[in-house]
Amino acid sequence: MFAPGAGRFVGPPAGVAVVLLGLVVLRVVPASAYLLGLFAVALGVALFFAVFFRDPDRTPGGGVVSAADGRVRAVEREGERWRVSVFMNASNVHVNRFPVTGRVDAIVVSGAGHRPAYRDDARHNLQQCFQLSTALGPVEVVQMTGIFARRLVSLVDVGAERQKGERLGMIVLGSRVDVLLPAARAAPTVRVGEVVHAGSSTIARESS
């Protein structure tokens, strides 16, 4: 399964590769190192985007699940909230998911710039914040751009109600996703450096 919009990226280079191969197989043009090189580049680009836009089904894990695939870069207490931050690289699945069941109350775009997503000051980058009403209270999922990641995609509208693990959005070409949880109702269960998967890896449990 591929994420929405994959065809716009995979289709053109795949089409070029097919045309080049057809020209050589049908002997419309003679095979040459130049044509084979173009074919290899086009096929490589198509395969890269096919891997990048993959969107596998996930079985929701227990508690609060990660909103993104990647590696945990920070687990921080900020006043009355916990922030669990996950850094996504180019090889990760880039579709983001609901960490808990909830309703989208607002989608707020803010910030500016494209600092490296692994740095602390990346929280000032261009970002898209999904404000959710949940059984735990207010929860936020924040998509942040990075040096190469410039496109933040929403797969839901304000007012949408979704179950834990369902698709929320995606970031084109990696970057970072933070989940902010009410400290009175949830406690993180992950540590910095752990690898997590969107929709299936537990990052926090409800506090008793």
- What pLDDT was estimated at residue 9? 59
Same domain, yes or no, for 35 and 94?
Answer: no
**This model's pTM is above 0.85:** no
Same domain, yes or no, for 107 and 169?
Answer: yes
Alpha helices in 26-143 (DSSP H): 33-52
In a domain, 13, yes or no: yes
Per-residue pLDDT of the chain (208 residues; tens, 9 = 90+): 655 655 565 556 666 667 666 766 677 767 777 777 777 777 766 676 666 667 788 999 999 999 999 999 999 999 999 999 999 887 888 899 999 999 999 999 988 777 766 677 777 778 899 999 999 999 999 998 877 656 788 999 999 999 999 999 988 776 899 999 999 999 999 999 999 999 999 999 998 6
Interatomic CA distance for residues 186 and 166, integer angstroms:
20
- What pLDDT was estimated at residue 98? 98
- What pLDDT was estimated at residue 158? 97
Catalytic entry in 66, 175, 200, 201 = 175
Number of neighbours of residue 80 by Cβ within 10 angstroms: 10
Same domain, yes or no, for 39 and 74?
Answer: no
Interatomic CA distance for residues 22 and 128, integer angstroms:
43
N-to-C CA span, the chain: 38
Interatomic CA distance for residues 147 and 179, integer angstroms:
21
The rounded percent of the chain whose pLDDT value lies above 90 is: 50
Is 201 noted as a catalytic residue in this protein? Answer: no
- What pLDDT was estimated at residue 177? 95
CATH of the domain at 68: 2.70.70
Same domain, yes or no, for 80 and 41?
Answer: no
Interatomic CA distance for residues 89 and 70, integer angstroms:
7
Residues comprising the chain, all counted = 208
- What pLDDT was estimated at residue 15? 67
Same domain, yes or no, for 94 and 189?
Answer: yes
Same domain, yes or no, for 128 and 30?
Answer: no
Same domain, yes or no, for 192 and 117?
Answer: yes
Same domain, yes or no, for 141 and 99?
Answer: yes
- What pLDDT was estimated at residue 21? 66
Write out the residue range of the structural domain in which residue 188 sits.
64-198+202-206
Is the distance from CB of 102 to CB of 129 less than 8 angstroms?
A: no
Q: At what angle do helices 33-52 and 6-25 cross, to 10 degrees?
A: 150
